[in-house]
């Protein structure tokens, strides 16, 4: 009778569980059967998982938010009198969060499985499999549970034990403190990807339902798009140079949201991972990132080379001395230039900026914000130097205009200290009138002063 009940139960189990989750080994010589469950643990919802290191409370480490746990591998042997008189014998019990089969956690699992059979004294293999899948989690998360996987007070999460004694040291000699957490996180990530790939989603761009393996989910907002549509969307905005739109979720609810850069944003790392198979777009993304960072840096200026124009910020490794304040080296073409005059780096020689009145008039009439921008571009000391030079030059020109006369042939300025108004230029030997600046006949230079009706008539000695 027990053998028949065992056969019926095993047939039912084979119909319920896929081959990768169930293995049945029949030992004809010993008239015993071994059943191995390898059922993934379901948490139903994201659950906090704390890692206790060497018996210390797990709250000092940030919890893991997990939805899947690696399988609790359970192997039981069916004695001849199972299921009516004997319980299944536990042969093997293993899981990443059960570090020692003799630990209190392992003993608690064995005891709870035995109690499952004692309650019914019948077929319990399916109960064992489902308890390994989710039963122990439900008991642990129950308020004031006596499960060793809880803290015994609240039901806020699962607590697993990890020992540093079994952990290899890192390259720095410091023991790694969370290899168990890394294992659980990696399994959870792969399990989420596998579950995502088996579902079907509606792409809000092409409005077609596609399998998850052909789609991508935005982590921040959870919207799903098929990869083909999302790639077209990113290609458009990256090509046009709009990094802000490329980093925004294209779903209508995110586009219309005022908090576009929060709930509906795509992280740069997420975008880089998506574009890893399109090197040209990935390169374009890196360029736009650097460009955006440089535009936000007030010390950044475009490279003076017409075929480059790369925004070049100040090198943080340079000291803050005035000598290196204007130094820039383009990261694209390696051109070293002065940020003020936009010419090849010339320190310690001063800049040869044009002392144009338009620049100085703009600086003099500018608002404080515009003035700071001009000082950031040309340098405050340079502008003050140009202003002093310009004012000196302007004063010189005014003095020359009022006190001298220009030669009509070579434009040399000549000052009369004494004598008549007949002047002879020392540079070109031209004869001219000091009063009106007109040329004089070299053979008859005084005719200009003796001709009635002339503006300089009788003014030879004025």
What is the model's pLDDT at position 36?
92
What is the model's pLDDT at position 209?
92
The region of weakest confidence among 42-51, 172-181, 191-200 is 172-181
pLDDT band, residue 15 (cuts 50/70/90): very high
Multiple choice CATH, 2-166, 3.50.50.60, 3.30.300.30, 3.40.50.10540, 3.10.110.10: 3.10.110.10
Instruction: For residue 112, give the nearest of 127, 94, 97 by alpha carbon.
Output: 127
pLDDT digits (tens, 9 = 90+) for 93-144: 888 888 776 678 888 899 999 999 999 889 999 999 999 998 888 888 876 6
What is the model's pLDDT at position 177?
42
pLDDT digits (tens, 9 = 90+) for 254-276: 877 654 445 567 888 888 888 88
Residue percentage of the chain with pLDDT more than 70: 86
pLDDT digits (tens, 9 = 90+) for 341-399: 778 888 777 666 554 566 777 777 788 888 888 777 777 777 777 778 778 877 887 88
Where in the chain are the domains? 2-166, 200-295, 301-378, 406-462
Architecture of domain 200-295: 2-Layer Sandwich (3.30)
Is 77 strand, coil or helix? strand
More confident: 191 or 262? 191
Same fold, 2-166 and 200-295: no
Alpha helices in 70-166 (DSSP H): 104-120, 125-130, 136-141
Chain centre to alpha carbon of residue 176 = 27
What is the model's pLDDT at position 371?
82
- Looking at the DSSP assignment, which residues form a beta bridge with residue 35? 24, 76
Cα separation of 74 and 72, whole Å? Answer: 6
Instruction: For residue 196, give the nearest of 184, 175, 213 by alpha carbon.
Output: 213
């Amino acid at each position: 009778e027990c053998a028949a009940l065992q056969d019926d139960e095993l047939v039912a189990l084979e119909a319920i569980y896929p081959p990768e989750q169930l293995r049945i080994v029949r030992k004809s010589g010993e008239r015993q059967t071994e059943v191995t469950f390898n059922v993934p643990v379901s948490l139903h919802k994201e659950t906090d998982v704390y890692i206790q290191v060497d018996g210390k409370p797990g709250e000092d480490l940030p919890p893991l938010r997990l939805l899947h746990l690696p399988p609790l591998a359970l192997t039981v042997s069916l004695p001849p009198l199972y299921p009516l008189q004997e319980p299944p014998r536990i042969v093997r019990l293993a899981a990443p969060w059960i570090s020692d089969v003799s630990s209190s956690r392992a003993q608690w699992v064995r005891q709870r499985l035995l109690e499952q059979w004692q309650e019914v004294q019948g077929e319990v293999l399916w109960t064992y499999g489902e308890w390994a899948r989710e039963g122990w989690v439900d008991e642990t998360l129950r308020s004031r549970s006596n499960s060793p996987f809880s803290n015994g007070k609240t039901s806020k999460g699962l607590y697993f034990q990890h020992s540093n004694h079994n952990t290899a040291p890192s390259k720095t000699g410091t023991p790694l403190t969370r290899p168990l957490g890394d294992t659980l996180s990696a399994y959870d990530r792969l399990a989420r990807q596998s579950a995502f790939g088996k579902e079907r989603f509606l792409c809000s761009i092409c409005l077609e339902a596609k399998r998850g393996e052909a789609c991508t989910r935005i982590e921040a907002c959870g919207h799903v798009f098929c990869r083909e549509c999302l790639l077209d969307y990113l290609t458009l905005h990256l090509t046009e140079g709009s990094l802000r739109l490329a980093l925004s979720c294209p779903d209508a609810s995110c586009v219309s949201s005022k908090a576009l850069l929060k709930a509906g944003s795509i992280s740069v790392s997420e975008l880089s991972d998506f574009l890893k198979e399109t090197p040209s777009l990935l390169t374009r993304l890196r360029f736009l990132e650097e460009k955006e960072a440089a535009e936000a840096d007030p010390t950044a200026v475009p490279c003076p080379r017409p075929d480059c124009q790369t925004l070049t910020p100040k090198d943080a490794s340079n000291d803050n001395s005035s000598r290196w304040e204007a130094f820039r080296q383009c990261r694209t073409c390696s051109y070293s230039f002065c940020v003020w005059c936009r010419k090849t780096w010339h320190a310690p020689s001063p800049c040869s900026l044009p002392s144009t009145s338009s620049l100085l008039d703009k600086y003099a009439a500018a608002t404080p914000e515009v003035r700071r921008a001009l000082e950031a571009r040309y340098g405050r000391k340079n502008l003050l130097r140009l202003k002093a030079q310009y004012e000196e030059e302007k004063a010189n020109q005014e003095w020359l205009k009022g006190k001298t006369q220009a030669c009509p042939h070579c434009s040399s300025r000549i000052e009369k200290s004494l004598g008549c108004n007949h002047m002879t230029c020392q540079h070109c030997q031209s004869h001219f009138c000091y009063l009106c600046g007109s040329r004089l006949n070299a053979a008859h230079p005084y005719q200009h002063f003796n001709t009635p009706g002339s503006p300089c008539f009788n003014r030879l000695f004025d």
